Amino acid sequence: MPPSQLKRLKASLREQGITGPPPSNKQKKKNKSRPDQRVHRQAALENIRESFNPFEIKSSARPRKFDYTTNRKERPENARPGVTKSRGEELRRKSLLPEMKNRHRVGGIVDRRIGENDPTMTPEQKMLERFSREKLRKGASLFDLEEADEEELLTHMGQSIDVAGKHRPVRDDYDEMDDEAAGSDEGGFRRQKRKRDASEEAGDGEEEIREEVPERKKTKAEVMQEVIAKSKMYKYERQQAKEEDDDMRDELNKDWRDLMPLLKGIKGPPPKEPEPEQNESADPSMNPQRAAMIAGTDSRTNVEKEAAEIARLAAEKEYDQRMKQMLADQRAQPSGRTKTEEEEAKERADLLKELEEQRQRRMRGEEEPEDDDQVNPDLEEDDEDDEDGDAAGFGLKATRSRPLGIDDEDDFLLENDLIASGSDFGDEDSDPELSGDENSHDSEDKEANERMKRDAQPDSTLEGADPSSVSGLPFTYDCPRTHEAFLALLKKVDIADHPKVVQRIRASNPANVHPDNKQKLSDFSEILVEHIHHLGSIQPPPPIAVTNFVIRSVHSLARTYPDVISAAFRRCLSSMHEANDIKNGDLLILTAIGSIYPTSDHFHQVVTPATTIMARWLGLTIPHADHQLTTGAYLVALCIKYQQLSKRYVPEALRFTLVALSMKPVPSKAIIDAHVTNLLSMADLWSTLPAFPEIFSPHALTALTKLSRKRAITHLNILLSSARLSRRPLTLHNHRPLPIRTALPKWEENFNPDKHYDPDRERAESARLKKEYKRERKGAVRELRKDASFMARENLREKRERDKAYEERQRKLIAEIQGEEGHEGKEYEKERRKRRMG
């Protein structure tokens, strides 16, 4: 059984010599010679006390079983939480407690003397540093009369102290003042003055010596001073040149009135007669003629007065003209470098590549990246119209800029000679099929530009004739607001002149002349959309040139009014959807949609409904009459045109074509030829699809065989053979062989239990950062809690001290009041007894 606590305590005291038999005289004399006997005794008692207090030592719950050696610093097995807590309390009393006491205080005195806050400096070092700093500051004084001789150099241990050398003394707040003084203009001026004085005193005898000495490298402060001085000098020179230019300009302005008549070839006004002397009572600041008129002594005749008034009006008119001219003058813009042909070709190729990439993204249904630099061309055009309107409001000529993009019918110049030429719109034939691609208008636009050039040239046979009698059409038209009004306007006009009327309506109502014209043209664009449907419904059908011109006009207006025209087309499509039938006007509307809008987009608010309507009609209609077969052939051709770039499969078109080719009795040869052409066009369009053999092989060949179309059968067989040869059978993914997973552990020769063996570096780094963050966060939270506990204890202690002082003062006051009341009571009783006795 282990000994008890009392026995262990007695044994410990006896071992340390604190208790036991009394020492002998010899031991007492020996102990007296040891001055640290008392300190040794206190230390021994403290060790015994700590060893017998189990609450002051913290041991690990699971001590290590085996001893091992590592290069990491091991934590002690036994900790002393009491010592750690007392040390943290002491640190908080030194750092946190002063901050708490000075929390609501402003100001104070901070000791910035050299060496006062540095406990490592001795008093001699402090005095030496202060003396050196004072000497350095005195040397930079402007009125320093002392000469820095060799006898006044500071020395220590036989060596000179280089105050300004590389071994500079400890820096403090005075260094900032020295740096500011050295960097300022005054400090530089002082240094320059001292150098100049020194050079003057040296005399001519030292010039040769200075020439032999190499130049000293300039400091940064000296370089900056030279830069500042040169900048001021250049600024002064510019000011002088500007003042000279202003003086010369003033002299030219004075002589401007005399030079202008000479430049214009007009004789100047005669010299003025000497003016009569002014009266003494007249105001010297008033015009003499006006003063004479007020005084009633104006000696001028009526002719002279009229001439003066005319001259004044002419001057005012000239001033207004010059003001307008100055407003019209634009500031010159820097022009770019002239580019070579290769650079221009590269820019065009880059532009086409970017446009094709945008079309491909729209075709795939991807969102276009947002770019703040790209501006909507419609908005730009509106801004240009607003600017032109502002210019017209100031009485200036508005410059018309041609919009960028593909030339179309909107690019004609609305000049006076074009309107007054009276030329008629040509009736040249054009391509009856309108392409759905945005690049399909090149040939038509070239023809339109050639026609406009021919129209812009006045006819030699019409010179001297009345322009209004050439075609019988007025040159200006009021913009109609409804389709009925537009039809009434065209009622008395030959159908060949309809394009000229549309052109003159647009020319008579430009959007940049009047703010109401923009709304008028917006309504007129809706009227043209309705007119396209009307042109397809009338009998006999109008010429192809007229229809093409109206469609191109709608195309040009769609740049400025895209929402309005889209809404008009969607209304037409809604009426087709409700009618469940397609008429001739509807076919023309569908053709115009394919010509105006891009048909390769994955989704379009006009093209997608149009494609859906055509597919619905082709999929649900069973042809019985020739007009249905003709309409179906046209719709199939339109579907092929719509899918020319995107190459999307339209099963309804193929279904209607096969039904038409399999009809009995067989329709006319023209209808059969149209459907066979559509079938071959679909085969060419969809030959790259993976399912091409399955789509065309069973039924298309049978239909063509019954009709004995050998050339079409040969062409289709060639496409089917190519499609089958291009097919590749499905195979497994070709990848490197993967090893079979094993349950055997990975062996590490130098295994460390504290190290993480994660093959993923990013994951290992992330885990390390998370662990470090967690550890730091827990430590910060722990310290904050300790700080809060310390502040709460200090606040409670201060509150108790305040309450104790308050209670002490209150007790003293109560005792004093009670003493005074007792004394007054005794005096009252004495007086009372005296009165009774008396």
Predicted confidence band of residue 572 (pLDDT cuts 50, 70, 90): very high
What pLDDT was estimated at residue 574?
92
Closest CA to 496 of 434, 424, 597: 424
Q: Can you tell me the mean pLDDT for 751-757?
A: 78
Q: Is residue 89 part of a domain?
A: no
What pLDDT was estimated at residue 508?
85
Is the model more confident about 173 or about 357? 357
Q: Each residue of 174-230: pLDDT tens digit?
A: 444 444 444 444 444 445 545 445 454 445 444 444 445 456 778 888 888 889 999
* Count of other CB atoms within 10 angstroms of residue 608: 15
Q: Each residue of 691-740: pLDDT tens digit?
A: 999 998 878 888 888 888 889 899 999 999 999 998 888 877 777 777 78
What pLDDT was estimated at residue 154?
52
Q: How far apart are CA 708 and CA 729, in angstroms?
A: 34
Closest CA to 402 of 411, 394, 393: 411
Q: Each residue of 627-638: pLDDT tens digit?
A: 899 999 999 999
Domain that holds residue 632: 598-725
Q: Is residue 590 part of a domain?
A: no
Q: Each residue of 312-321: pLDDT tens digit?
A: 888 888 888 8
Predicted confidence band of residue 299 (pLDDT cuts 50, 70, 90): low
Predicted confidence band of residue 262 (pLDDT cuts 50, 70, 90): low
Q: Is residue 75 part of a domain?
A: no
Q: Is residue 544 part of a domain?
A: no
What pLDDT was estimated at residue 53?
75
Beta-carbon contacts of residue 395 (< 8 Å; ≥ 6 apart):
324
Closest CA to 700 of 749, 745, 651: 651
What pLDDT was estimated at residue 382?
43
Question: Which range, of 160-174, 354-368, 418-432, 649-663, averages the lowest pLDDT?
Answer: 418-432
What pLDDT was estimated at residue 293?
55
What separation in angstroms does the CA of 122 have from each of 128, 129, 173?
10, 11, 20
Highest mean pLDDT, choosing among 405-409, 582-586, 741-745: 582-586
Q: How far apart are CA 276 and CA 289, in angstroms?
A: 9
Q: Is residue 173 part of a domain?
A: no
Residues 279-293 as b/e (b if ≥16 CB within 10 A, e otherwise) read: eeeeeeeeeeeebbe
What pLDDT was estimated at residue 48?
84
What pLDDT was estimated at residue 371?
53
Query: Tokens 């091409």 map to which residue?
Result: 692
Query: Secondary structure of 306-327 in the HEC alphabet?
Result: HHHHHHHHHHHHHHHHHHHHHH
Q: Is residue 141 part of a domain?
A: no
Q: How far apart are CA 320 and CA 491, in angstroms?
A: 49
Q: Is residue 623 part of a domain?
A: yes
Is the per-residue pLDDT at 277 higher than 90? no
The answer to pTM > 0.85 is no
Closest CA to 663 of 714, 625, 711, 634: 625
What pLDDT was estimated at residue 747?
79
DSSP 384-420: HHHHHHHHHHTTPPPPP-PPSSS--GGG----HHHHH
Q: Is residue 389 part of a domain?
A: no
Q: How far apart are CA 660 and CA 671, in angstroms?
A: 9
Considering the chain, what percentage of its residues have pLDDT values greater than 90? Answer: 24
What pLDDT was estimated at residue 776?
96
DSSP 577-618: HHHTS--HHHHHHHHHHHHHS-TTSS--TTHHHHHHHHHHHH
Tally of structural domains, the chain: 1
Query: Tokens 């320093």 map to which residue?
Result: 144
Is the per-residue pLDDT at 168 higher than 80? no
> Does residue 671 contact residue 629 with C-beta atoms inside 8 Å?
yes
What pLDDT was estimated at residue 139?
65
Closest CA to 550 of 513, 510, 589: 589
* Radius of gyration, CA atoms only, the chain: 54
What pLDDT was estimated at residue 35?
67
Q: How far apart are CA 453 and CA 447, in angstroms?
A: 10
What pLDDT was estimated at residue 290?
58
What pLDDT was estimated at residue 539?
84
> Does residue 526 contact residue 565 with C-beta atoms inside 8 Å?
yes
What pLDDT was estimated at residue 460?
34
Question: Which range, of 31-35, 690-694, 785-789, averages the lowest pLDDT?
Answer: 31-35
> Does residue 543 contact residue 496 with C-beta atoms inside 8 Å?
yes
Is the per-residue pLDDT at 500 higher than 60? yes
Beta strand residue intervals within 112-214, DSSP E: 155-156, 159-160
What pLDDT was estimated at residue 280?
45
Q: How far apart are CA 266 and CA 332, in angstroms?
A: 32
> Does residue 536 contact residue 586 with C-beta atoms inside 8 Å?
yes
Is the model more confident about 426 or about 820? 820
